[in-house]
């Protein structure tokens, strides 16, 4: 955080509300964001699992892609030149997870991509959105127009009671299933709602005009089921759900296969598919899909109570000088009441049944490989 402390930070449309609610504000991806509210990270986390948490994710990038000639099919074909997912087969009103890859097979960013019938909507990570915009404009300039929607905010309402809370404003949201997307009116404002999120819980992400975001947030918070939740609990919730954080678990040196995200590449884009390859890094990624990757992202459960944090090296035993991997995310999982982590180990170690050892304050502590998610996902399918 110190690296950004002396840089002028941006503020989301909900900044005033965060301060009013007593949030602790911190620099994050160039923005001044709430890390926690007076209730604290633990209670915010558990409240989201039990009821509904409201997150400000307006720092993320929102884009609209339209073909210069032709319709949604042309825009989808163009986007397939930079992502390894099946955009062309994405039905109207549906959304998919996508990876923006580079020529080395690494991941430039992870995105959400939606088909709204007349345009493709893209949501990008806050720290990557400027680079993503420049890259997409260069790559797709001949065929598409890209519009950045800084005039819109983004709220996430997550948890088992999120549906009933949002249905009080728009009854039709009850019909949405996981990764459905719809344009609806909330408080008289045109919004785009997707049934998705970053917590492993059922919930929604709501794109709303920036000048109406505070009114919508206040309305949602007026429901006793809803509590404001900051970045701290957002991180522990996504870690329990086994979801990657770009810049920690994903980066330009990590391939989709290494990240165990091969499920995000549909058959039409794989070897033998109707539109195989054609995206940056395809030769490397398709080879790893067929023959395996040198390392793999895995879940980790420390045997003790001490959390293993980002950057801790992993070893096969207590004395070896050769590291076999690295922890990329780690902390305490309030819902499982235990420390949890994820990281990368060699392909050989990923299938081993014996524990690995993590470096912790100069000592090596045993860590078990574990299946993810650590808490079962509760999406409405």
What is the CA 305 to chain-centroid distance, rounded? Answer: 27
Same domain, 322 and 189: no
Domain region containing 305 = 294-381
Both 310 and 209 in one domain: the answer is no
Q: Which residues contact 196 (CB under 8 A, 6 or more apart)?
A: 95, 112, 178, 179, 203, 204, 205
Q: What is the tens place of the pLDDT at every residue in 56-109?
A: 999 999 999 999 998 999 999 999 999 999 999 999 999 999 999 999 999 999
| Dist CA 8 CA 5 (whole Å) | 8
Within a domain: residue 110? no
Which DSSP helix (H) or strand (E) runs through 115? strand 107-115
> In this structure, are residues 48 and 25 in contact, taking their beta carbons and an 8 Å threshold?
no
CATH of the domain at 303: 2.40.30.110
Position 352 confidence tier, pLDDT thresholds 50, 70, 90: confident
Both 298 and 376 in a single domain?
Answer: yes
Give the residue from 240, 262, 283 where a domain finishes: 240
For 152-176, write each residue's pLDDT tens digit: 999 999 999 999 999 999 999 999 9
> Are 175 and 314 within one domain?
no
**Cα–Cα nearest to 62, from 192, 182, 176:** 192
pLDDT of residue 6: 55
Residues 322, 217 within the same domain: no
If 0-12 CB within 10 Å is exposed, 13-18 middle and 19+ buried, where does residue 129 land? buried
313 plus 174 within the same structural domain: no
Residue 159 lies in a domain: yes
Residue 11 within a domain:
yes
Closest CA to 174 of 193, 190, 155: 193
CATH number, residue 23:
3.30.1360.120
- Are residues 193 and 324 both part of a single domain? no
Note the pLDDT tens digit of each residue in 255-267: 999 999 999 999 9
Per-residue model confidence as pLDDT tens digits over 103-145: 999 999 999 999 999 999 999 999 999 999 999 999 999 999 9
Domains identified in the chain, total number: 2
Distance from C-alpha of 295 to C-alpha of 293, rounded to nearest angstrom: 6
Of 173, 208, 240, the last residue of a domain is: 240
How far CA 364 is from CA of 105, 308, 328, in Å, comes to 33, 11, 17
9 domain-assigned:
yes
Digit-coded pLDDT (tens) for 17-56? 999 999 999 999 999 999 999 999 999 999 999 999 999 9
Residue 116 within a domain: no
Q: How far apart are CA 179 and CA 197, in angstroms?
A: 9
pLDDT in tens, 307-317: 999 999 999 99
Pick the last residue of a domain from 208, 240, 272: 240
Which residues are within 8 A (CB) of 112 and not within 5 positions of it... i.e. 6 or more apart?
Answer: 95, 96, 97, 98, 122, 123, 194, 196
- Residue 305 covered by a domain: yes
Is residue 8 over pLDDT 50? yes
* Residue 167 sits in the same domain as residue 18: yes
174-191 pLDDT, tens digit per residue, is 999 999 999 999 999 999
Q: What is the pLDDT of residue 70?
A: 87
Q: Per-residue pLDDT for 2 more than 50? A: no
- The answer to whether residues 299 and 236 belong to one domain is no
The answer to whether residue 45 is domain-embedded is yes
Written as one string, the DSSP assignment of 321-338 is SS--EEEEEEEEETTTTE
């Amino acid at each position: 955080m110190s690296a950004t402390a002396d840089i002028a930070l941006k503020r989301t449309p909900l900044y005033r509300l965060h301060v009013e609610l007593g949030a602790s504000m911190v620099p994050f991806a160039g923005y001044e964001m709430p890390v926690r509210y007076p209730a604290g990270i633990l209670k915010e986390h558990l409240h989201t699992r039990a009821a509904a948490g409201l997150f400000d994710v307006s720092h993320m990038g929102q884009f609209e892609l339209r073909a210069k000639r032709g319709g949604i099919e042309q825009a989808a074909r163009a986007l397939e030149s930079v992502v390894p997912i099946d955009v062309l087969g994405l039905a109207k009103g549906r959304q998919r997870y996508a990876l923006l890859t580079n020529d080395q097979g690494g991941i430039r960013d992870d995105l959400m991509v939606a088909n709204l019938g007349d345009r493709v909507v893209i949501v990008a990570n806050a720290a990557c959105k400027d680079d993503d915009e420049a890259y997409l404009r260069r790559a797709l300039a001949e065929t598409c127009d890209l519009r950045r929607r800084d005039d819109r905010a983004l709220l996430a309402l997550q948890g088992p009671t999120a549906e009933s809370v949002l249905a009080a404003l728009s009854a039709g949201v009850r019909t949405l299933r996981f990764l459905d997307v719809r344009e609806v009116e909330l408080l008289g404002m045109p919004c785009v709602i997707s049934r998705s999120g970053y917590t492993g819980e059922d919930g929604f992400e709501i794109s709303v005009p920036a000048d109406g975001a505070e009114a919508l947030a206040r309305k949602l918070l007026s429901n006793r089921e809803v509590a404001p939740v900051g970045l701290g609990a957002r991180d522990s919730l996504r870690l329990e759900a086994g979801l990657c954080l770009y810049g920690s678990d994903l980066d330009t040196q990590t391939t989709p296969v290494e990240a165990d995200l091969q499920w995000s590449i549909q058959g039409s884009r794989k070897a033998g598919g109707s539109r195989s390859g054609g995206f940056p890094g395809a030769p490397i990624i398709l080879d790893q899909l067929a023959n395996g990757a040198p390392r793999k992202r895995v879940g980790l459960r420390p045997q003790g109570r001490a959390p293993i944090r980002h950057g801790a090296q992993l070893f096969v035993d207590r004395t070896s000088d050769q590291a076999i991997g690295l922890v990329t995310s780690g902390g305490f999982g309030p819902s499982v009441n235990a420390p949890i982590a994820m990281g990368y180990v060699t392909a050989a170690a990923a299938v081993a049944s014996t524990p690995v050892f993590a470096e912790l304050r100069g000592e090596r502590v045993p860590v078990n490989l574990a299946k993810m998610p650590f808490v079962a996902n509760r999406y409405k399918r």
